[in-house]
Amino acid sequence: MAKRIGIYPGTFDPITLGHMDIIERGAKLVDELIIGVTTNIAKSPMFDDDERIAMVEREVAGVAYDSIRVVGFNSLLMDFAERMNAGIVIRGIRGVTDFEYEYQLTGMNRQLNDQIETVFLMADVELQPIASRLVKEIALYGGPIEKFVTPAVRADVEARVEKIGRRGG
């Protein structure tokens, strides 16, 4: 029987408790889970590619599955999935807006490679509001982010905000 390899792609800028929930649950569905860290050209990342990869590696080191690895990529998701021999893409859904975007993305990806299936996992109810974009915004205005990220990620974000400067009065 072939090894089931799944990819959980994202920018992870920064990695949140919501991401970690999907990683832990997604790892149960496959023999190997590859966390694909990429840059979304529509977003302005707070952390560069290497910093985000290192952050994700550090955070998943504590997950109870030894079949997780972190790989950076800068290509079409379907090309990356083919290179990794993955047959499944795992996507986290927080709500209807995410679903509409992911539905369109999945349709386009199936046009590129209909051999790779997409699996949607609903975020845990308590974690559904968390979005990296909002975590960064809250931090930039000096708000508390400890409910949304691990202590180590909080320290990373706060150090970066200190370096680039807080917003607001």
Under DSSP, is residue 66 helix (H, G, I), strand (E, B) or coil? coil
From the candidates 19, 91, 136, 154, which is the catalytic residue?
Answer: 19
What is the predicted pLDDT for the residue at 92? 93
Say which residue the tokens 């590619």 belong to. Answer: 49
Predicted structure pTM score = 0.92
Q: Choosing from 52, 91, 132, 136, which is the catalytic residue?
A: 132
Residue 75: active-site member = no
Residue 40: pLDDT over 80 = no
**Long-range contacts of residues 166-169, Cβ cutoff 8 Å, at least 24 apart:** 166/140, 166/141, 166/142, 167/140, 167/141, 168/140, 168/141, 168/142
58 an active-site residue? Answer: no
Q: Active site includes 44?
A: no
Q: Are 55 and 131 in contact (CB under 8 A)?
A: no
- From CA 123, how far away is CA 125, in angstroms rounded? 6
Stretch 134-160: mean pLDDT: 96
Band of the pLDDT at 111, cuts 50, 70, 90?
A: very high
pLDDT in tens, 144-156: 999 999 999 999 9
Kindly tell me the sign of the dihedral angle through the C-alpha atoms of 152, 64, 35, 127.
negative
**CB atoms inside a 10 Å sphere around CB 109:** 19
- Of the listed ranges 16-20, 33-37, 66-70, the one predicted with least confidence: 66-70
- Report the SS3 class of residue 129: coil
Counting residues of the chain whose pLDDT is more than 90, the rounded percentage is: 79
**Does the annotation mark 67 as catalytic?**
no
Among 3, 4, 43, 166, the active-site one is 43
Among 38-42, 112-116, 144-148, the minimum mean pLDDT is found in: 38-42
Give 3-28 pLDDT, tens digit per residue: 999 999 999 999 999 999 999 999 99
- Give the active site residue among 25, 58, 67, 94: 94
